[in-house]
Structure 1
Amino acid sequence: MGRRPPAVRSAPRRQAARYDLTSGRPDLSLFPRTAWLAAARRALATAPHEALDYGSPLGRIELRQALTHYLARVRGVRTDPDRLLVCTGVTQGLGLVCAALRERGARALAVEEYGLPPQHAVVRAAGLTTAPVPLDADGALVDRLDARAGAVLLTPAHQYPTGTALSAERRAAAVRWAREQDRYVIEDDYDGEFRYDRQPLGAMQALDPERVVYAGTTAKSLAPGLRLAWLALPDALVEPVARLKALADTMSPVLDQLTLAELITSGTYDRHVRRCRLHYRRRRDHLVAALAEHAPRVRVTGIAAGLHAVLQLPPGSAPEAELLARAQRAGLSLAGLGWHRAAAPAPAETPPALVIGYSTPPDHVFPAAVRALCELLRGA
């Protein structure tokens, strides 16, 4: 009999909630339906017939060319179309890279102490164990990387969920570790396009494109349902990852790739991201102001970028599990920081913290959701 698949910790329940404040998803009402439809028409009208046939597992050349220029301009990524692979989400991309590393002899992947449990499950499903790396205010403590790890998975632009940015010194140290130990860094550019208080941090992939795998996606900028993401791969990983992609699903859907390429090359995608950035910054400011007025003992962190915030509750607050139960009774769907922990539970004396997504509720519901959250925190 085959091995049973690893258990995946369930995401916070959403069905019964009136107000969805879970993190990780955009405001879907912002999806540019008219622009997407117009781009799809243009792309389909000009696409060669062969575009609709079986093609390269790397993805359509039109999108890979568009992404090469876009990522260089916006994120500082150094790559070319022959080293880009289009995949159905960062989750698939991570699984493919882990499987390729497993073929090369890796047995473990270092991961940040807090992260996404579904990603950790994908790593284990690829045959690797996870080795958590502690975090502090400057991001992952890369000097504590496990010597057994074949690579490390980092979210340097905006650590998920704590919201820290990996310092320049630690970025350089992680790349130096990869070079010296013949290892790799997997850079999940989480929230890289949504930074509010200063210019976005460039991708660390530019420090060494032969040692850093860069992963990006449209899940936040457009919609997760598109299942469009990409990997900028070192030369040594292009063939094995492309081969595994072909075995997984042959290739990603063509029409959506052509449409995204048209959006990018026309400049529509840039304009859409700018619009979203302004929208989410207003949401963030509303949340921070409301908490300062109605729950001043709560410390809000991780808000320089992204679509979520971490609420650090004061000592003496109710335990995290109790707060989550109260939130559910109040019609609030949200998550605790503990759910994101990659290793053993935090020490009992650790004050509880909540991870709040401020992007998901539609505009007409958002103020009421924030009021309900403040009411919950007043009783914490």
Structure 2
Amino acid sequence: MGRTRTNSSTAEDLLIELDRTGTEPLHRQLEAAIRAGVRAGRLRPGASLPPTRTLATGLGVSRGVVVEAYQQLVAEGYLTSRSGGYTQVTAESVPEPAPVAGVTTGRTAFTIDFGYGRTDVSAFPRAAWLRSVRTVLTTTPNDRFAYLDGRGVPELRDALTDYLNRVRGTSASPENMVISSGYGQGVALLIQVLAARGARRLAVEDPSPEDDARLVARSAGLDVVGIPVGPDGILVEELEKADADAVVLTPSHQWPTGGVLSARARAQVIRWARGRGAVVIEDDYDAEYRYDRAPVGAIQGLAPEHVVYCGTASKTLAPGLRLGWLLVPPHLVDDVAAAKLVADRGSSVIDQLTFADFLNRGEFDRHLRRMRPIYRRHRDVLLAALRGRLPDFVPAGVAAGQHVVAWLPPDLDEAAVVAAAARRGLGMYGVARYRLRPGGPGGLLFGYATLSERTIIQGVDILADAVAEVRDS
């Protein structure tokens, strides 16, 4: 006998109060009230909400107000819309834990940690991924589970080609794609091939990440030269003086300063690469997260014969998947694929096929649509907290990604602020550690992807106390 589903909640049960005299739209107030109920555990996973007409009547608002609020919360993943008009709290939703347990980062444990690079893996779409796994295991021909060539499975290369050409404006073909175990392996394979072909100097943005390209290039015997970064990205006139054979760029969202390379500068980079026969390595690490504008298309689409486009699932799904991809110019693709084959005989076939099915079903797009408003709210809360407690900090860059850099006022020493924050159990990271050359303004890096809005506010409060200590001393 089937179980009858009921929506027994009423407007009173939800403890919703709307302020009709304020400036905040009613649907936003309703969204915030339901969201808070889910986080606090008052609305438990699987709990049914009132039908839109019932709730609208109970609150004395139009049905459209409730419909708009429900739709937003469904998009964010807090609610699920069931057949027959039932709306329920998502089964995966859990109350937000209080930030009491220490977070271990290297050898230091912090109560709150603004470290960058920690995608919110708790939001990984397990149910959708499982559907794709089941599809792969039940429909894939046996021969797909044998050894492959170094490029990766054709299904994933086809799916990624369609996605990147549609979303990132690349000029991609499946034959020029190599699947790697994340960005780290991909850039290592590429630098290995370039070194074998005679490359001697790699240019990188300054500041830029310490690991991956810089470490691998030095290990391969290449000189590494830093090219200064301005508000909009790398200073191309300095690149032209560097005598480099390749350059690593983050043109869509410079890491860590957040600038976007201008159209003029992109054209200059391409002219430089063509004139020198050099290679541009485009690290497109977080282009999927734009909050106030459409992302600028990839440089690779302008010069596919000189640009290697690097992408990864680490910032969008989970770094533990170890899935990355390279769009490689035709004259390099065979060597990169051969290097991949020697390195590990190819990435997991099941994972590649699962991701291909996940892409083709539209689940990747749905996941990104769910995560964008969440990360945007985290960023907005962070900026509001900085304005309130540390108004002389100057945030930099566009509204994008999973981090913000804020420049310090001249009277503050970056290292002293970081140390004072650490004494209070707060993990902060200065920009200086990512510079190749000393000097430049002091700044702090705020990673916000894995922190709750409440924790972000608490972290900024702690930081403000640390800054006061530094100034008093």
**Common fold: TM-score over 0.5:** yes
Aligned pair partner of 2:163 in 70, 79, 97: 70
Match of 1:243 in 2: 338
CA contact (8 A) 2:381 2:456 kept: no
CA contact (8 A) 1:194 1:277 kept: yes
Aligned pair partner of 1:255 in 338, 350, 360: 350
- SS in structure 2 of the partner of residue 134 of structure 1: strand
What are the within-5 Å matches in structure 2 for residues 347-362 of structure 1?
Answer: 350-362=440-452
1:14 offset after TM fit, Å? 6.5
Match of 1:329 in 2: 423
Alpha-carbon distance in structure 2 between the residues aligned to 1:267 and 1:165: 28
Alpha-carbon distance in structure 1 between the residues aligned to 2:229 and 2:198: 27
Which deviates more, 225-234 or 351-360?
A: 351-360
Match of 1:41 in 2: 134
- SS in structure 2 of the partner of residue 196 of structure 1: coil
CA contact (8 A) 1:23 1:334 kept: no
Match of 2:144 in 1: 51
Match of 1:7 in 2: none
When residues 107 and 376 of structure 1 are mapped into structure 2, their CA distance, relative to the original with a 3 A threshold, is: same
1:127 offset after TM fit, Å? 2.5
Match of 1:233 in 2: 328
Alpha-carbon distance in structure 2 between the residues aligned to 1:279 and 1:302: 19
1:175 offset after TM fit, Å? 0.8
5+ residue gaps, structure 1, are 1-10
Alpha-carbon distance in structure 2 between the residues aligned to 1:360 and 1:111: 28
Match of 2:120 in 1: 27
- SS in structure 1 of the partner of residue 155 of structure 2: helix
CA contact (8 A) 2:378 2:452 kept: no
- SS in structure 1 of the partner of residue 211 of structure 2: helix
Which deviates more, 320-329 or 64-73?
A: 320-329
Match of 1:320 in 2: 414
1:138 offset after TM fit, Å? 2.1
When residues 362 and 57 of structure 1 are mapped into structure 2, their CA distance, relative to the original with a 3 A threshold, is: farther
- SS in structure 1 of the partner of residue 110 of structure 2: coil
2:173 partner letter: D
- SS in structure 1 of the partner of residue 216 of structure 2: helix
Alpha-carbon distance in structure 1 between the residues aligned to 2:105 and 2:224: 22
Bigger Cα Rg: 2
Match of 2:64 in 1: none
When residues 171 and 372 of structure 1 are mapped into structure 2, their CA distance, relative to the original with a 3 A threshold, is: same
Alpha-carbon distance in structure 2 between the residues aligned to 1:196 and 1:247: 41
Alpha-carbon distance in structure 1 between the residues aligned to 2:166 and 2:107: 38
1:366 offset after TM fit, Å? 4.0
Q: Deviations over 1:235-289 (max 9, x none)?
A: 0010111111111111011111111111100001001011111110000000001
Alpha-carbon distance in structure 2 between the residues aligned to 1:15 and 1:220: 24
Alpha-carbon distance in structure 2 between the residues aligned to 1:299 and 1:40: 45
1:296 offset after TM fit, Å? 0.8
CA contact (8 A) 1:95 1:126 kept: no
Q: Deviations over 1:190-235 (max 9, x none)?
A: 2111111111111010111001000000111001111101000000
What are the within-5 Å matches in structure 2 for residues 1-380 of structure 1?
Answer: 13=106, 15-119=108-212, 120-145=214-239, 146-317=241-412, 319-341=413-435, 343-346=436-439, 350-362=440-452, 365-380=455-470
What is the aligned length?
Answer: 365
Alpha-carbon distance in structure 1 between the residues aligned to 2:242 and 2:441: 31
Q: Deviations over 1:34-85 (max 9, x none)?
A: 1111111112211111111111111111100000000000001111111100
**Structure 1 vs Structure 2: percent identity of aligned residues?**
46
CA contact (8 A) 1:29 1:362 kept: no
Match of 2:85 in 1: none
Alpha-carbon distance in structure 1 between the residues aligned to 2:231 and 2:458: 32
CA contact (8 A) 2:116 2:448 kept: yes
1:290 partner letter: A
Under a length normalisation based on structure 2, what TM-score does the superposition of the two structures give?
Answer: 0.75
Q: Deviations over 1:300-343 (max 9, x none)?
A: 112421110111111111x22221111211111221100111x2
Q: Which of the pair has the greater relative contact order for Cα pairs under 8 Å at 6+ separation? A: 1
Which deviates more, 367-376 or 140-149?
A: 367-376
1:367 offset after TM fit, Å? 3.9
Alpha-carbon distance in structure 2 between the residues aligned to 1:291 and 1:315: 17
- SS in structure 2 of the partner of residue 315 of structure 1: coil
When residues 321 and 13 of structure 1 are mapped into structure 2, their CA distance, relative to the original with a 3 A threshold, is: farther
Which deviates more, 230-239 or 91-100?
A: 91-100
Under a length normalisation based on structure 1, what TM-score does the superposition of the two structures give?
Answer: 0.92
Which deviates more, 40-49 or 180-189?
A: 40-49
1:360 offset after TM fit, Å? 2.1
CA contact (8 A) 1:56 1:251 kept: yes
List structure 1 segments (4+ residues) > 6 angstroms apart after TM superposition.
none
Alpha-carbon distance in structure 2 between the residues aligned to 1:35 and 1:69: 20
5+ residue gaps, structure 2, are 1-103
Pairwise CA RMSD:
1.7
When residues 40 and 155 of structure 1 are mapped into structure 2, their CA distance, relative to the original with a 3 A threshold, is: same
CA contact (8 A) 2:203 2:242 kept: no
